[in-house]
Structure 1
Amino acid sequence: MMIRKIAFLTIILILFILGCKQENDKKTSEEPLKEIIQDSSKTAKAIPEVNEVIAEEFKLNEENSIQFFFDYQKGLKENKVKLTTSMGSFTVQLYDNVPYHKANFIYLTRKGYFDGTQFHRIVKDFIIQGGNADDDETADKRRKLGRYLLPPDTRKGYKHHRGTLSMPSSEINNPHKLASPYEFFIVVTKPGSYHLDGGFTPFGKVIEGMDVVDKINKVQVGKGDWPSKNVYIEKAEVIQ
């Protein structure tokens, strides 16, 4: 009887010891798991939001340019631009009732497009033409801004008087005389070059610094009417 009792107590003791060991093993195995979950949470907070959307860079094209400039010109009160060149500065005033061309010129000015471009075509006693350059930077600017043309707006009664700011037509297949938006020309002929009326769009005039325009028109030119020495537009800025 005594032997059975001792055997029974021994079994109970063994079961108790095994139970304690299993409980300790369970706690030991859970602690690393808990630490891993916490670390993962910390790491997750350090990772940027994956749903952040990078806005696609806006570019003008044949489909969106007219609507864009229609909206852009609404409430556009500024109508003067000062162009500082390597030969001096002059100021142009843009016509409010030629809205697309005015808006285009203001937009490109604010985008810094004209800065660093040149008066690349100079015809004696006729015009100076600017807005282009023979460098990669100007081409890159055009690619970023977009490829588009502007419709002519020749029925507002403006003529190509001396000092008139007007738009050249694109050289691309262009029977409708669509304007090249990145370039402009200024008439220096006295009293004007009226044979241009109806074919090109006057959209402003020089109101200050016409003497600088005349000085640019007198520089020596080479083949293709390109100046022998580059004449730069160093800065174009919208002014009140």
Structure 2
Amino acid sequence: MKSPFYILCLLTILVSCKENKDNSTKESEVDKDTIAEKIEVNIPSNGRTDKDLSEIKFLEQEELIPFLKKYGKENPESVVDIETDFGTFTIELFPEPVLHRANFLRLVKLDYFDTAVFHRVDSNFVIQGGNSDRMATHEFRKAIGDYLIPNEFTQKYPHDYGAVSAAKYAEQNVSNASSPFEFFVVTKPNGAYHLDGDHTVFGRVIKGMEVVEKIDDLETDASEWPLKNVGMEMKVVR
């Protein structure tokens, strides 16, 4: 049985073509005054490490755009390896979705994703990662910030097979703003173009799509959560 934290924090992408299907819930509100000074973070591939969260800047909506634009200029990297229990795949981050690229890169460098799992698998459609029912993930979110990223979708980057796109709140989100913490990879062979405009594509898989397909084949429970957790560890390549 999933923990109450799973019920509070699971963000699912809005899928307009699937009727009567909405697995998303709202993330609990961030308490800015209760950021853990230090927690133990379990990294699936490398065992255990300590991560001090007290030095992470808490980012609020009002300062989001200037902060991420500045961060993006100071951190120009665009290629990230995602190591999983099934192998490693590599993604390229696109430059035009400036805020999404900077936010994703920031989370990679903060090691946030190393606490998370691929928590949703909808075979031949998407695999989604960036959440978990671990307290480490919950504490990381509280430390990182309370914000949504404005939609940056462009027709230049549609939801092709292998596209990397941002998840979002499914309700009360008329601007289609993105969750800062969760992403998905399109596994539908002929693309998922009905998601264009509703979600921001900010990258693509450039190597290891066979690893993504292995995750896509996993058995899941009724909520599309894999029966066996698939952890991840991300590393900036260049």
CA distance in 2, matches of 1:107, 1:149: 15
1:57–1:207 CA distance, 2 compared to 1 (3 A): closer
Deviation of 1:155 after TM superposition, in Å, equals 2.4
CA contact (8 A) 1:163 1:206 kept: yes
How many corresponding residue pairs? Answer: 185
1:66-145 aligned at under 5 Å gives the runs: 66-145=65-144
Mapped contact 1:97–1:156 kept (Cα < 8 A): no
Distance apart, 1:67 and its partner CA: 1.2
2:58 corresponds to 1:62? no
RMSD: 1.5
CA contact (8 A) 2:115 2:134 kept: no
- Taking structure 1 as the reference length, what is the TM-score of the superposition? 0.74
Deviations 1:199-219 (A, max 9, x none): 110000000000000000000
TM-score of the superposition, structure 2-length normalised?
A: 0.75
Matched, 1:177 2:181: no
Q: Counterpart amino acid of 2:235?
A: E
Question: What amino acid sits opposite 2:197 in the alignment?
Answer: G
Higher helix fraction (1 or 2): 1
Matches within 5 A, 1:220-239: 220-233=219-232, 235-239=233-237
Match status 1:146 vs 2:145: yes
Cα displacement string for residues 32-88 of structure 1 (whole angstroms, at most 9, x for unaligned residues): xxxxxxxxxxxxxxxxxxxxxxx9862011111111101111153310110101221
Question: Partners in 2 of 1:68 and 1:75 — Cα distance?
Answer: 11
Unaligned runs of 5+ in 1: 1-54
Q: Gaps spanning 5+ residues in structure 2: where?
A: 1-53
Alpha-carbon distance between aligned partners in 2 of 1:59 and 1:75, rounded to the nearest angstrom = 18
Runs of 4+ aligned structure 1 residues displaced above 3 Å come to none
Alpha-carbon displacement from aligned partner over 1:92-136 (angstroms, at most 9, x marks no partner): 000011111000011000000000210001001000000000111
C-alpha spacing 1:57/1:80, structure 2 compared with 1 (3 Å)? closer
C-alpha deviation, 1:174, in angstroms: 1.5
CA contact (8 A) 2:122 2:224 kept: yes
Higher CA-based Rg: 1
Judging changes above 3 Å, is the alpha-carbon distance between structure 1 residues 152 and 118 closer, same or farther for their aligned structure 2 residues?
A: same
Question: How far, CA to CA, are the matches of 1:133 and 1:162 in structure 2?
Answer: 25
